[in-house]
Amino acid sequence: MALITTLLCGGMVAWGYGTLAAAVGVATAGLLAMKARLHTFAHQLSAQDMQAALTLAAISLIILPVLPNTAIGPPPFDVINPQKIWFLVVLISAFNFSGYVLHQIIGTTRGIALTGLIGGIVSSTAVTLSNTQRSRSDPQLSGAYALAILLAWNVMFVRVLVLAGVIAPHVLSRLWPIIIAGGGSCLLGSIWQAKQAQHNEVTSLVLSNPLELGAAISFSLFYTAILIGANLARSLFGDAGLYLSSIFGGLLDVDAITLSLSELANTGDGISEVTAARAIGMATLTNTLVKGGIVIVGGSPLLRRTIVPVLILISSTMLAALLWPW
């Protein structure tokens, strides 16, 4: 294959694609240099690992694209979007599998924690669902799963600050004490849990099935039920109060609420920066409580004992910041 690739690179140079040929050549040389490591990694893969990888590819590249990307059903079921719901299944499964792979490469605790940190950029809810489900399968690793969840929550707090700062910088001056209160508490919990997880590192444990598709589907259906309930509440109460709708919106998504309220604060006859900041803070707190509820309902006993104190600390500090007279 290296010889054939070299021949094709020569052809690309002759056809005027010298830059592409150079890139392919460097990539080929890199793969050849890593051949021994890649062979070692390949020998560690079991038939179950290959089946999990193929299943992940199938649900991502075959099932996901063919699902309709539109809402189905009358209100309050109009929040049911088959493609978005299945995308959550794909996210949870991908986080499970990536955590398993990183466990094989860099170790249990660091691998799982890294998936939480990176996954929080995409969806802290999916990270929470994924690691809560895994804590039931591998309760010995509940400490590592708790660390991954807390790291994803930390990323969520940072994301709220960034989004609000980009859209409405004047809102950020009122918002940052609320978000820093919750994010700082979460960071303290993460540091404490990182020390605990490192102290209790498990090196000889073999993880169970790297891709538990049934559990991922179950948790996604549970999240869909939350979506329907929140949408039903909004349809019953309407938008009578901005804070009420922020709480309902926080059940669904923090980013959308942050962007919409920041934009409202930018308009001439819109809401004040204090109101926008408090509403965003309430949505963020609500979303954190929902994810904490997911852990309490579906997590292992050790995961619950680890997350609940941090959740109480986050809630207390954010409530104090929200109720502080400005």
**pLDDT value of position 209:** 58
Q: Peptide bond before 74: cis, by omega within 30 degrees of 0?
A: no
Whether the predicted pLDDT of 55 surpasses 60: yes
CA distance 108 to 102: 8
Q: Report residue 269: phi and psi, to 5°.
A: -105, 25
Asked if residue 214 has pLDDT above 80, the reply is no
pLDDT in tens, 68-126: 988 887 776 776 888 888 887 887 788 777 767 766 666 656 677 777 787 777 778 88
Per-residue model confidence (pLDDT) at position 265: 78
High-pLDDT (> 70) share of the chain, %: 82
Q: Label residue 2 by pLDDT band (50, 70, 90).
A: very high
Q: What is the pLDDT of residue 221?
A: 78
Q: Are 127 and 115 in contact (CB under 8 A)?
A: yes
pLDDT tops 70 at residue 6: yes
pLDDT band (50, 70, 90) for residue 307: very high
Which of 49, 52, 7 lies closest to 25, judged by CA?
7
pTM, entire model: 0.66
Closest by CA position to 284, among listed 123, 152, 156? 156
Both structure tokens of 179 = 């978000």
